[in-house]
Structure 1
Amino acid sequence: MNNDRSFSTLNRIHTIKQLESEAFDLIVIGGGITGSGIALDAITRGLKVAMVERYDFASGTSSRSGKLIHGGLKYLQNFDIPVVKETGSEREIVYNNAKHLVYPIKMNFPLIKKESYNLVTLKAGLTVYDRLAGVKKEERHTIYGKKKTLEREPLFNPRTVQGSGEYVEYRTDDSRLTMEVAKTASENGAAILNYAEMVEFLKDEDNKVKGIVVKDHMDGNTFIVYAKHIVNAAGPWVDVVRKKDRPVTGKYMVLAKGIHIVFDRKSLPVKSSIYFQHKGRMIAVIPVGNRTYVGSTESRYKGDMDDIHVNLSEVQYLLGCLKDMFPAIDLGVHDVISSWAGIRPLIGEEGKSPSELSRHDEIFESDTGLVTIAGGKLTGYRKMAERVLEHIDKKEERSIPPTKTTTLRLSGSQFESAEEIDAYIDRLQGYYQELQLTDQQIADYVYRYGSNTESLLQLMSDFDQKYSNKEQRNILAELHYTVKNEMVSTLADFYDRRTSYLLFDLEKVKRTLDVVTEELTSILNWDEQKKEYEKRQMFYLIKKAVQFKEA
C-alpha cells in the first residue's frame, strides 16, 4: 500500500515524478468509471499502472448518468438475454464491493394503457429477469392489480394505469463510485493524476505506441510517460484520442445526450422510485432524501462536449411526461431546482441506421497497438475492465493473473451488510456527540465516504473551536478531507463530483461558496486571478443548473 497521502492534491508533484520516472506496463487514458475500473483491475493483477485524466475524475459521462446500477430489465424487450444475465450478476458484485454507495431500492413499474407491457408480458418479463439476473429470493418481483397499485402510489393517473410490478433496482452516486474505484487503484499502487491531458503519442521505430506526452493543466508543463501497453478509455472523447494516433476508420462514436431535472421532494412527493413508459421511452422518477430527480431524455448530440446544456424543450418534454403520469401535480419549469446533462457514446458504423447503434462495449486496436474501449454502461464497468485485461493478456509474453476485482472491496466499503452500516452510524453518533450532528447528517456522510467517515469527523472536531457556524465548520472539514484524500483541485471538483451539492443542494453551495473559496485559495496557494476564475466558474455552473437554453 502507498501512504495515505498518495491520492492527495498536495502530493501532486510526487505523483508527476513517479509518472515520469517509472516504466509502466499500462497507461490508461481517461479517469471515468471505465478507465478507473481498468486501472484497478490491472494494478491488482500485478501490473505497473498509470492513469491520466484530462479534467477531473468522473467529469464527463460518469457523473451525469441516471445514478442507477441497472439490472438490465429494458434489454429483455430486445431479447438481449446475455446482457440481462451479465448485468444482473455484475450488479450484485458492484453492490457487495461498495455497500455504502450502492443500495437496493424498490422500483415501481406501472402498466400503462397503450404502452408495450401488459399484465402477462410484465409478469413473464420480471420472472425471466429474476431468473437471469440471479435475483435473491427476498428481492423477487411482486405484481399488483389496479386498486392496490393506486393505493400504493396515489399520484398515478387512474385513467391510464392498469396495475404494476415491483422489483429491485440499485441506486448509486456515480461520481463517488468512480472516485472510490480510482482511489482503490491508487491505494494498491497505481500512479493516478487528474488535470493531466494526453496531448501526443510517442512511437518506436516499428511505429508502435510506447508512451504519451502529458500536459499538466495545473502548471502548464508537459512530461512524458512510457508503457508497454496504452488503453484509450476516454468515453465520448475516445475518437478525439484516436485521431492523435491514426485517422478514425470503421466504427466511430455517435453521441447521445440525456438530461435529468431535480425537484424538491414536496413538489413531487412520490411514495417510491418509479420507472414508467411514456410513448415507448423509459422515464425514471427517483426520490433521494428531500429531493426527487427525473430523467432521461435521449437525443443525438453534436455540440460542445465540454459544456453541455439542458435545453428548455427537454425540460418541457419531461414535465409533459410527469403531467401524463401524475395529473394531480402541476409542475412548471420554475419548480426545477437543479439539473444535469451528459452524453454517452454509442458505437456507429458506416451504412448503419441510428436505430442500429450499439449500446454494448467494444474493444478496437489500431495497427500502432493503441487499444480503445468504447460504449458500455456504468453497471458493467468491472466486466469491461476484465475484457480489456484479457485483450492485453493475449499481447503479453507473460501470462497475466486472473482478475481479483470480483470480491475486492472499494475504499471506504469495509461493511458486510446494511446492518453493519447502521451500527457504524450509531457508533459515530455516540463518539462524536460534541459535534451536534443529526443522525441524518452522519448517515449522509457515511453513505458518501463509507468507513472513511471517521477521518472526516476527526477534522470536524479539530475545526470545532474555530467555527461557531456549524455549517461552515462541516463544509470546511469536508473540503480539507477531499483535498487531502480525494484529489480535489477546483471548486467544481468539490461541489459537483465529490459531494453532489451542485446537483442536489444548490442553496448550500450559494451559502458556503465564499468561505470555501477562501479556504481552498489558502490550501492550494491560488493567486487572486485563479481565485476569481474559480469563483466565476462556480457562478456559471450554478446558473447553468437552473437556466435552460432555448434550442
Structure 2
Amino acid sequence: MKQSSSFSILEREQTISCLREEVFDVIVIGGGITGSGIALDAISRGLKVAMVDRKDFASGTSSRSGKLIHGGLKYLQNYDFSVVKETGSEREIVYNNALHLVYPIKMNFPLIKKESYNLFTLKVGLTLYDRLAGVKKDERHKIYGKKKTLQNEPLFNENTVKGSGVYVEYRTDDSRLTMEVAKTASAKGAVIINYAEMTEFLKSEEGKLSGILVKDHINGTTFSIYGKHIVNAAGPWVDIVRKKDRPISGKYMILAKGIHIVFDREALPVQSSIYFQHKGRMIAVIPVGNRTYVGSTESLYEEDMDDIQVNLSEVNYLLGCLKDMFPSIQLSVDDILSSWAGIRPLIGENGKSPAELSRHDEIFESDSGLITIAGGKLTGYRKMAERVMQYIQKKNNQAQTPSKTDQLKLTGSHFYSERDLLNYVDTLSRQYQNLGLTDEEINRYVFRYGSNTEILLATISSFQHITDKEQRNIVGELTYTVNHEMVSSLSDFYDRRTSYLLFDLEKVKRTLDVVTTELATILNWTEEKTLEEKRFMQYLINKALSFKEGVTKRD
C-alpha cells in the first residue's frame, strides 16, 4: 500500500488514491480525539486503518474542552469511582507519552460556605481521589486552613472561603493532542484525511456494511472506501451518522454545552489554577501564559451544532461566579479577550440532567454492523480506543488483547523527562540564535510542536528575506503546518494548530493579511476562495468577542 510519507494537504491526491485502492480492516468516521485514538490503537495492532472527518481534526468537541487532562475529582460526587480510577491512571500515561503537551499544575480547591464540600468531605474526597487515581506520593493533596488559604490566594473572598485543598491536575492543548495522536497513527501507516465527509453507507446484498461513500470537500469529488469494520466516532454527531444507517432506537445523544471566556492575566491575576463550587456547579479558573481562562457552564443544547454561539447570559453567569469568588476584581464583558463554546455528547437517559449524567462511554452496534462509540471524555481516549478494538476482536472470535499504545510516544514527544524537554529548548536557543528569537518564544514553540520544533525553526529560517520578524515567524509556522499537519484553511491554522484565535486575537488581526496571501499562494486559491476564507476568519474573530442575546436553557 503506497501512501504519503508526510501528513500534508499537498499529498491529498496520493492519500485519496490509497483510500480508494485498499480494503481496510477498520474505517473510522470522526477525527476528534476518540476517532484518532481508535486509529492509533488499530494501526498499532497491525491492522489496515482509514480515518475520515467531514471537517478538520478536532474541529468539534476536541478543540473546545476545558483543556484539562484530569483525574475526575468531580465524579466522586456521583460515586463514579470507576471513572476516577481509570482517568486518574490514564492521565499519567497521556502525560508520559506527550510531555510537551501535558503538564502538571497545582489546582486550588477552596472550601466555600453553603457549598456541598466541608473540611471533612474534602479531605475524604481528595484522599480517595489520590488512591483511586494512583497519585504519586509527591503529588498528593494538601489541606489548608483559612489563613494559609488566603495567603496562597489573596483574591479569594475572605467572607465565604473557609479553607482549601491543593492537588495536582494536568493541563493540555486539546486540539494539538488530537493532532499528535492522528499524526502518530499516520506515521505508523493509517490513511487519514480531513474535509472528507461520509455521505452514505455501502452495503452488501444481505444489508451488512461494506464501506462508505465519501465527499471530498476540498475538490468536490466523491469516492468509496471499503472496509471490514466501520466505527462511528463522530462525537456529538454520532446520531447523525447512525441515521444514515438505520433509524435510531435505544440509546441516544443528549448534548451539553459549555463555554469558556478568556482574560488578560493582569485582569485576573490568580496565583494558581482554581477549581471552585458556585451553587453546586464547578468552575475552573486556569492561568496560561499571559492569559487566564474561565469555564465552564453546562446547559442543554438543541441548536446549530456547526456554529455554536456563546450567549450573553452564559457570560454574565460566569462573571457573577467570579465576582462572588474574587470580590476585589472588577470584570465586565469588555474585559473578555476571546471565548469559545463547545458541546459534549452524553448518553441519553430519561430523567437525568446533563450535570447528573455519567461520562462513561458506551459501545453499541446496529444490525447492519455499524459500531458506535459514544460518551466518554478527553482523558480516557486511549481506553475508549482499547474497548472498541477489543469489541472488534470479540466480534471476530479473537482473544481480546490490551492496547499497545500505553508506552507509545506521540510524534513530537521524543522526550523522557522534563529535563530532556528543557535541554531541548536550550539547544535550539543556541542553534537558532540567528533568528533573534527569545527563549520565551522558543519555549512556546517547543510546548506546541515538541521535538518537531527543529523542523519548524529551519522552516522559519528559510523566510529570512521577510524583514518583519512577526510576519517571518508566522509565515514559517504556517508553512510548517501545511507541510506537516494537513492545514488547508485559515481556521485550521489560527484555531486548532496554534490556538491564536483563542488566546491571542490581536496576533490574528495583525498577521491575517500576510497569512492569507501566503496560504492562497501555497494552495493555489482563486480570488473568490481567498475572499471566502478571509471573510470566514473575520467572522470567527468577531464571534470570539460577540455574545448572543437570549436565555440559556439550564439543566
TM-score, normalised relative to structure 2:
0.98
Match of 2:164 in 1: 164
Alignment correspondent of 1:82:
82
Separation of aligned partners in 1, 2:100 and 2:354: 38
| Cα drift, residue 240 of structure 1 | 0.2
User: 1:468 — aligned with what?
Assistant: 467
Provide the secondary structure at the position in 1 that maps to 2:254: strand
Residue 355 (structure 1) shift? 6.3
Q: Distance in 2 between matches of 1:83 and 1:182?
A: 25
Residue of structure 2 equivalent to 1:334: 334
1:48 alignment partner in structure 2: 48
CA contact (8 A) 2:26 2:231 kept: yes
Task: Name the residue aligned to 1:519.
Answer: 518
Listed one character per residue, the Cα deviations across residues 473-505 of structure 1 (whole Å, up to 9, x for unaligned) are: 100000000000000000000000000000000
Quick check: 1:250–1:349 contact (8 Å CA) kept in 2? Answer: no
Counterparts of residues 54-453 of structure 1 (less than 5 Å)? 54-349=54-349, 357-396=357-396, 402-453=402-453
Distance (whole Å) between structure 1 residues aligned to residue 423 and residue 152 of structure 2: 30
1:482 aligns with 2:481: yes
How many residue pairs align between the two structures? Answer: 550
Q: SS state of the match for residue 463, structure 1?
A: coil
How far off is 1:461 after superposition? Answer: 1.2
The whole-number CA distance in structure 2 between the counterparts of 1:128 and 1:354 is 24
- Residue 545 of structure 2 corresponds to residue 546 of structure 1: yes
* Whole-angstrom distance in 2 between the partners of 1:258 and 1:419: 36
- Tell me if 1:508 matches 2:507: yes
Q: For residue 545 of structure 1, what is the amino acid of its counterpart? A: A
The aligned amino acid for 1:310 is V
Give me the whole-angstrom Cα distance separating, in 1, the residues matched to 2:409 and 2:210.
32
Contact 1:69 1:378 in 2 (8 A): yes
CA distance in structure 2 between the partners assigned to 1:231 and 1:426 by the alignment: 43
More moved, 343-352 vs 289-298: 343-352
RMSD: 1.3
Q: Residue 258 of structure 1: CA displacement?
A: 0.2
3-state SS of 2:77 partner: helix
Partners of 1:417 and 1:325 in 2: CA distance: 36
Q: CA deviation at 1:358?
A: 3.5
Q: Secondary structure at the match of 2:144?
A: strand
For residue 507 of structure 1, what is the amino acid of its counterpart? E
Task: Give yes or no for contact 1:2–1:186 (8 Å, CA) kept in 2.
Answer: no
Q: Secondary structure at the match of 2:109?
A: strand
CA distance in 2, matches of 1:82, 1:119: 24
Give 1:396 deviation, angstroms.
Answer: 1.7
* Structure 2 contact 4–14 (Cα < 8 Å) conserved: no
Shift of residue 77 of structure 1?
A: 1.5
What CA distance in whole angstroms lies between the structure 2 residues aligned with 1:418 and 1:185? Answer: 24
The superposition leaves residues 322-372 of structure 1 with CA deviations (integer Å, 9 ceiling, x where unpaired) of 000000000000000000000000111457666663421100100000000
Deviations 1:120-174 (A, max 9, x none): 1111111111111110011011111111111111000000000111000000000
Q: Distance in 1 between matches of 2:313 and 2:340?
A: 14
Shift of 1:442: 0.3
**Residues in 2 aligned to 1:56 and 1:314: alpha-carbon distance in whole angstroms:** 27
- Amino acid in the other structure paired with 2:234: A
Q: Could you say which residue in structure 2 is the equivalent of 1:534?
A: 533
* 3-state SS in 1 of match to 2:270: coil
> Do 1:55 and 1:197's aligned partners in 2 also have CA atoms closer than 8 Å?
yes
CA deviations on 1:384-431 (whole Å, 9 max, x unpaired) are 000000000012255575421011000000111111111000000011
Residues of 1 paired with 2:357 and 2:269: CA distance? 36
Cα distance change of structure 1 residues 417 and 437 upon mapping to structure 2, 3 Å threshold: same
Q: Which amino acid aligns with 1:282?
A: M
Q: Which amino acid aligns with 1:163?
A: G
Q: CA deviation at 1:104?
A: 0.2
Q: Which residue number in structure 2 is paired with residue 497 of structure 1?
A: 496
Matched to 1:506, the amino acid is L
Q: Check conservation: 2:361, 2:376, Cα contact below 8 A.
A: yes
Seen in structure 2, the aligned counterparts of structure 1 residues 163 and 358 have a Cα distance that, compared at 3 Å, is: closer
Counterpart Cα distance in 1 of 2:63 and 2:128: 31
Distance 1:153 1:398 in 2: 55
1:237 CA drift (Å): 0.2
Q: Give the Å deviation of 1:6.
A: 2.8
Shift in CA distance, 196/418, structure 1 to aligned 2, threshold 3 Å: same
Other structure's SS at 1:6 match: coil
- Letter paired with 1:439: D
2:553 counterpart residue number: none
| Residues 108 and 164, structure 2, Cα contact 8 Å, conserved in 1 | yes
Deviation at 1:310, TM superposition (A): 0.3
Q: Distance in 1 between the 2:78 and 2:347 partners?
A: 18
The residue identity in structure 1 corresponding to 2:242 is R
**AA matched with 1:18:** C
Measured after TM superposition, the shift of residue 5 of structure 1 is: 4.0
* CA drift at 1:270: 0.4
How far apart are residue 460 of structure 1 and its match? 1.2
Q: Which runs of 4+ in 1 moved over 2 A?
A: 1-6, 349-359, 397-402
What one-letter code is carried by the residue in structure 1 that aligns with 2:519?
L
Asked whether the 8 Å contact 1:29–1:232 carries over to 2, the reply is: yes
Contact 1:45–1:400 (CA under 8 A) maintained in structure 2: no
Gaps of 5+ in 1: none
8 A Cα contact 1:253 1:346, kept in partner: yes
Say if 2:186 and 2:192, in contact at 8 Å, map to a contact too. yes
Note the C-alpha offset of 1:79: 1.8
User: Under a length normalisation based on structure 1, what TM-score does the superposition of the two structures give?
Assistant: 0.98
Query: Residues 475 and 4 (structure 1 numbering): CA distance in 2 closer, same or farther, change over 3 Å?
Result: farther
Tell me by how many angstroms 1:252 deviates.
0.4
Tell me the secondary structure at the aligned position of residue 78 of structure 1.
coil
1:262 touches 1:504 (CA, 8 Å); kept in 2? yes
Q: Does 1:15 align with 2:15?
A: yes
Q: Say if 1:251 and 1:350, in contact at 8 Å, map to a contact too.
A: no
